[in-house]
Structures are given as C-alpha cells and as structure tokens.
Structure 1
Amino acid sequence: MSDAILKALDSVEAKLKSMSEKADAEMKDLGKVSADTKAAIDNLGIEQRALADRLLQIEQKQSAKQDDEPKVESWGEQFVKAAGYGDFQKKGEQRGSFGLEVKNTVTNAIANTFSERRPGIVEGAFRVFTIEDLLVSIPTSANAIDWIRENVFTNAAAETAEGVQLPQSSITFTPGTMPVSAVGHFVKITRQLAMDNAALAAYINRRMVYGVNLKVENQLVAGNGTAPNLNGLTNAGNFTAHGYTAATLTGAGLANNKFDLIGKMIGDCALADYPADVVILNTGDWWTLRLAKDSQGRYILGDPGSNVAPMLFGRPVVASNAMVAGKVWVGSLSQAATLHNRAGIALDLSDSDENNFQLQLVTIRATRRLALTVEKPAAARYGDLVPA
C-alpha cells in the first residue's frame, strides 16, 4: 500500500514539475499565468497533500504495530508455518520430525514452553564502541583515498647576515593510497517472521547493524591492510615502536612497570612534537591497572567510589576489546589518522535472493563502506605493555 502511494506521489511531483515549467514559460511569454494552468497546479497540490496524509497515517499505524508486544503463537500455529511442514506432509510418514530452522535461516519457531511470556527479547552482548568517535571523520565519494605524506624534512633555517645566501632546506614526500573497503553480512529470515513478529525482526535488524560496526571497530585497530581489510592503527608501518625493553627502563631508573612505560610513551610523543591525546588499552589490561594498589593497599588510581573518567598522566584512556591484550597504543589520534566514510550503514531486504521466493524467505543485508588512512605514524607509539 505504501509503495503504491509513493509511486502516486512521484507521479504527482512529476506533473507539478511539468506544470511549474509551463507556468514559468507563460509568465515569460505572456506576463501572467493562465487560469487553467493555475487551477491545474492547485489541484495537483491538493492531491499531493492528500497522498502525503495517507502515507503518514500508514507509517503511524506501522510504527504503532511495531510497539505492540509480539503475538505468542501456539505450537500448532508454529508447526504449520514452519518451512519443513510441507515436506513432512509429502513424505506421508506416520512418524518423524523436522527442524524448525532452514539451514541458518532465522525462523519464527520459538518454542512456547514458558508458563509466563516475558515481553521483549533477552539481548546478547553489545559492545560499547569507543574508537571511531575519537577519529577525525570525513565523507568521501571516491573508491580510493590518495594522499601525500611528508617523508623527511631537513630544516636548515638559520640566522643569516645581510647579503649572505640563505641556507637551503629539503623536504621529501611519499605517496600513499588506500582503497575504500566494504564491511557487511547477511542473514535469512522467514517471511512469516518478517510479517508476524515485528519486534523480533526489528531486533535482528539492530543486530545486523551492530555486527557491521563491531567488525569496523576491530578493523580500525587491528586491520592488516591487505585488501579488503582496513589498514588498522596497529598494522606495521602505521606507528612508531616504543622501543623500550625491561633493561632500558630499569637503566633509566624506572621500575619497569606499566605506568612508567605509558608515561615514557607519552613523553616521547611530546618530544616528537605530537602531544598524545589518548591511551588505548585492552579492556582487561585497563582494569588490571585500575585495580593496582600501593604497599599499603590503597588504589593507585584513586578511590573506586569516584566517578572520574579513566585517565593516565592527564590523558584519557580508552579501553577496547579491539586492542590486543598485552599491547598499548599512545599517540595523537587526531593527527595520526583519518576515517573516510564512503557510505553509512545500509540495511537492505530482498525476497529475490537465491531461492528466497520459492522458500518464502527474506534476506537482510547490512553493509558499510569506509577507509582508514594513517598519515602520520610518527604521531603514535605502540608495543608491548610489559617489555621483555
């Protein structure tokens, strides 16, 4: 119904455009718009508003329907709707069984075995994404990103007496390119599920979007750069190794602990004129640091009852499961890398995929296109959290 209304709206808008062009021509040639043309435009405007009102009513009804608690179907209703029921009948077997799931197809055959049905759906794990929000993000319409990176800058600037030739500096550059990658997946659901259980279908859609963004976050940190992978922050060539060993830390009068190492990495970034703006740690490693105590049993990073944001040496700490355990990344993320968004999350549905039409299935596909370019590896330090 809504598709028919949308088509009708498109037709009206095309007619309006045609009549508007006619009115402009009349105004130019005659100095006024004819009564017939004005009446036609008015009638089309009335028709357009009526169609828009009908479309709004349909969308409101659909929205209200999605908010309703999903209907609890009996075993019999689930049984006759299952994809295997027809095959079961054809075989004519007196005894037997069939699965209520077609391959990895999500069906609406949730067993009604509870004495009381809880509303909604009990969710699985949902990670809180942290990395992407820290990156400089810009849109792109290209399928690859090219950039020129400064390789070596030899600064020969010096005080020069009058009449004496100025010293010559030199700058060399290195080109870089990164293709835009696609991240996506699909799942099949039964048409019955899509039509009869709006809440479950909506939850699946949400999961599909989450799955794409989960993979993106992992790739932003650990992508190996080999197409179609992203070129992640910790991929070789995208950072400067911190270079510390247990011996060098001890030789510098430090205790060779994690705090000292992170402090040295922050200092090294500042020495390179790339002041660090973030520390990225694995979630488990961060909580090991957060729970560290001194010799008197006091928490080094402060009272557990405080609601202070995670910080080390005045820099915010981002804890992410995308970071490999036992590793640490410190740097100026705002300068080191740029996220290029070719297309946001696209959620598509089709009943024409493979043999969906015959099996009454619907394919749900979620995709996203993006690229990560790391232009300044010198702005980042990375390596083992506990050097050997």
Structure 2
Amino acid sequence: MSDQLEKLIKSMEGIEAKINDFDAKASEEIKNIGKVSYDTAEALKNFGIKQQELADEVMQLKQRGVVTGDTEAASEGWGDQFVKSEEYQAKLHLLKGRRQVGSVGFEVKNTLTGSDTNVAPDRKPGIVPGSFAPLTLESFLPSLPTTSNAIEFTKENVFTNSAAEAAEGAEKGESALTWTLESMHVSTVAHWIKISRQLAADNVALAAYVDTRMRYGVNRKIETQLVSGNGTAPNISGILDTGNFTAHGYADAALGSTLKKLVLIRKVIGDLEAAGDYPDGIILNPADWATIDIDLFTTAAGQSLRTVNEAGQRVLFGVPVITSVGMTADNFAVGNFSMACTVHNREGVIVEMSDSDDDNFTKNLITIRAERRLALVTERPAAIRAGDLTPA
C-alpha cells in the first residue's frame, strides 16, 4: 500500500508542477499578447483532467477500504492515511480552487461564459468590400483623347432651308446657315486620403483596396457629372445642363391614363425620329427602370412589349436602355447620343502618393491623391430630348 501511496503522491506533485509552469506561461501570454495561446490552454486542460482522475482514484480506493470489512484498513488504512495526510489535503485545497474536468487551470472567481478570450478568432482572408455601383454611362458615350485644357468646336446655329421648286429662268430661293464658336473647359475630378506608411508597407491587400476605392470614387463622381454637372467651372457640363438638351415639352394631360412613363418615352422617340435624329439610347435611373419594368409585367398592355432584345440588352420600343446611377430619379433622356455629345479625355485616373504633405513626414503618414481630367462636349442639343419623367 505504501508504494502505491508514494506513486500517487509523486504523480500528483508532477502534475501540479506542470500546471504551475503552464499557469505562469499563461499569465505571461496574457501580459504580452492579451490572451492565452491555444497550445497552452490545451495543456492546462489536459493536466486538469489528469489531476481530477487521480483524485477520483483515491476516493475509489478509500471506498473499497471501507467496504472490505477490514477493521484496520477501514479505520486507518492506507487510503485513510492518504486522505488525511498533509500532502493530500494540500492537493485537495488546490483542486477545490480550480475548475474541474475540461478546465484550463485558472482560479474561479466569477461565472464563466462563452466569450472566452482564449479562443483564437477565425480570421477570414481578404477584405470585405463596400458597394461598387456599376458605372455604365461613360462607356456608352463616344470618347476621344485631347491634349489641351479646353475644347473648342463650331456648332451649327440656325439653318434656314429655302429650297423650293423653281420655274425655268426664275430666281431660286436663298438659304441661310449660321455657326457659333463654342468652348468647353476640361474639368478635374479629384479626392485624397491619408494612410500610415506601415499600412502601405505591411498590408499589401488593404493598400491595393484603397487604391481601387480611390479610383472608383473619381469615376463614380464623373458618372453623376456627365448627367447633372452645371458647367460652371470646375464642373463638367452634363447632359441635363441648360442648353445641352431640348425639353420634351409634354404635360401629364397628354399622356393618357395608364402606363404614362412608357407613353411619354414613346412620344419623345417619335419626336426625335420626326426631326431626323433616330435615338440610340434611353438613359434612366435604376429605380425608374424598375418601376417601368414592373408595369410591363403586371399590365396586359405592357406584357406585349419586349424589354430585352436578342443580345440580352434592355430595350424599350427597340431603343437600348442605359440604367445609370448618375441620372437623377424621375428624370430621363432619350437621344442620338453618338451624334449629340463626346467625352474628351485629357488624363485617365492618376493615383499619386506623397509623404511631404502637411506633417506626414513626422507622423509617418502618406497622402494618396486620385484625380482625372476630362470634358463633355454637347455639339447637337437638338439630338437629345429630356426632362421630368412624371410631368405636371
């Protein structure tokens, strides 16, 4: 019996020494990195389980000594001696102060919950991006490069057509044609942001994402300016700027009682065709296109109209539909855009970095600037009809 007792004591002492070592290691990890590593936590857990198993074994041996009827063993057997020994009582005191099976060996002072800081987070790779709205308008419009800071062009002003039948020897009619010299400045669209030098050097993926987001920010603003820019420098003169389009001129009373948006668009298409400008596009806000699309599918009159052509492109009355976040809601434009206007690109999106801005050098920061230069020139406003999609 004494040999078994000695082995149990030595085993408990060995386990206790290891637990103490890992307790110290856990405290050091919390101090240095704010949490206990997975390996340390698992070791403490396993030693705690082994410690509890030894305690259970002692209790079982004690019970067997009582049941045997051996008076000496029952009254003062090795089990009793072990349980009453100072070494066991010291170990038992430590056990009572520790978590039981499955613990990591920390002292219990409060209710334990699932938010254990020892659990390593499941870190997902990459970056969850924000929204990137599709930019569709610029790719639809004709585009040319330029090397200047301004665009000048000669525009037909008034054409008086006096062509008529004439008798032999009679005087022929004289027509008149006047021009206007127009000039449009090249606009700059730009923005900037600051990041730390460490971020740029240590997190390549995040730095690349910042670059992508900065480029998108410039082009997203241009998408709006190409429609709504008021032309006052430094703004772009957009499609809906005064003088760049012809108002459709229809009132609500002229649109009937059902599918008014569709009726209005069809009338404007007809007006353009009558003027000799066969439209190649209808620009709508995505929300307005959704309303029209629903009308087409939920009314008997609309179901007979095709909204997608053979190439999979959205169409109304055979004219392609361009949905653009740049078009303000409840407005629209129909036109022969390939003849009406041109984007002139002076510079594509340029992204530059500098540590010399403000106090960047002393703070270890980098300023990132993204900018682009371009102009929209509308040569033939008559080829674009636009206005309110729900007129009064």
Question: Given the alignment, which residue of 94, 117, 123 partners 2:129?
Answer: 123
Match of 2:260 in 1: 257
Q: Deviations over 1:91-125 (max 9, x none)?
A: xxxxxxxxxxxxxxxxxxxxxx9711111110101
What is the correspondence of 1:137-156 to structure 2 with a 5 Å cutoff?
137-156=143-162
Question: Given the alignment, which residue of 335, 345, 350 partners 1:346?
Answer: 350
Match of 1:267 in 2: 270
Higher alpha-carbon deviation: 293-302 or 212-221: 293-302
Question: Given the alignment, which residue of 333, 336, 344 partners 2:337?
Answer: 333
Match of 2:107 in 1: none
CA distance in 2 between partners of 1:75 and 1:128 (Å): 48
| Structure 1 residue 225 corresponds to structure 2 residue 231 | yes
What is the correspondence of 1:142-181 to structure 2 with a 5 Å cutoff?
142-181=148-187
Match of 1:184 in 2: 190
CA distance in 2 between partners of 1:288 and 1:256 (Å): 10
CA distance in 2 between partners of 1:357 and 1:367 (Å): 23
Q: CA deviation at 1:380?
A: 0.6
Q: CA deviation at 1:321?
A: 1.5
| Structure 1 residue 205 corresponds to structure 2 residue 211 | yes
CA distance in 2 between partners of 1:337 and 1:310 (Å): 22
Question: Given the alignment, which residue of 372, 380, 383 partners 2:384?
Answer: 380
RMSD: 2.6
Q: Using the aligned pairs only, state the percent identity.
A: 49
Residue correspondences, number: 277
Q: Deviations over 1:64-93 (max 9, x none)?
A: xxxxxxxxxx99799xxxxxxxxxxxxxxx
Change over 3 Å in CA distance of 1:271–1:137 after alignment to 2: same
Structure 2's unaligned 5+ residue stretches are 1-29, 35-118
CA distance in 1 between partners of 2:177 and 2:301 (Å): 54
Match of 2:247 in 1: 241
Match of 2:283 in 1: 280
Change over 3 Å in CA distance of 1:302–1:178 after alignment to 2: closer
Q: CA deviation at 1:248?
A: 2.5
What is the correspondence of 1:100-139 to structure 2 with a 5 Å cutoff?
115-139=121-145
Structure 1's unaligned 5+ residue stretches are 1-73, 79-112
Q: CA deviation at 1:157?
A: 1.9
Question: Given the alignment, which residue of 361, 367, 371 partners 2:371?
Answer: 367
TM-score (norm 2): 0.66
Match of 1:57 in 2: none
Change over 3 Å in CA distance of 1:201–1:167 after alignment to 2: same
Alignment partner of 2:362: what SS?
Answer: helix
AA aligned to 1:225 is G
CA distance in 2 between partners of 1:147 and 1:118 (Å): 55
Q: CA deviation at 1:140?
A: 0.6
CA distance in 2 between partners of 1:75 and 1:202 (Å): 34
AA aligned to 2:388 is D
Change over 3 Å in CA distance of 1:139–1:258 after alignment to 2: same
| Greater fraction helix | 2
Change over 3 Å in CA distance of 1:167–1:303 after alignment to 2: closer
CA distance in 2 between partners of 1:385 and 1:198 (Å): 46
Answer whether contact 1:290 1:301 (CA < 8 A) is retained. no
Q: CA deviation at 1:249?
A: 3.0
AA aligned to 1:210 is Y
AA aligned to 2:380 is K
Alignment partner of 2:372: what SS?
Answer: strand
CA distance in 2 between partners of 1:160 and 1:198 (Å): 78
Answer whether contact 1:246 1:256 (CA < 8 A) is retained. no
Q: Deviations over 1:42-71 (max 9, x none)?
A: xxxxxxxxxxxxxxxxxxxxxxxxxxxxxx
Q: CA deviation at 1:159?
A: 3.3
CA distance in 2 between partners of 1:75 and 1:210 (Å): 43
CA distance in 1 between partners of 2:248 and 2:31 (Å): 62
CA distance in 1 between partners of 2:202 and 2:335 (Å): 51
AA aligned to 2:287 is G
Show structure 1 runs of 4+ deviating over 4 A.
Answer: 74-78, 294-304
Change over 3 Å in CA distance of 1:221–1:75 after alignment to 2: farther
CA distance in 2 between partners of 1:75 and 1:359 (Å): 28
Which one has the largest radius of gyration?
Answer: 2
What is the correspondence of 1:14-163 to structure 2 with a 5 Å cutoff?
115-163=121-169
Match of 1:70 in 2: none
Q: CA deviation at 1:335?
A: 0.9
Alignment partner of 1:291: what SS?
Answer: helix
CA distance in 2 between partners of 1:248 and 1:347 (Å): 51
Answer whether contact 1:150 1:171 (CA < 8 A) is retained. yes
TM-score (norm 1): 0.67
CA distance in 1 between partners of 2:173 and 2:311 (Å): 55
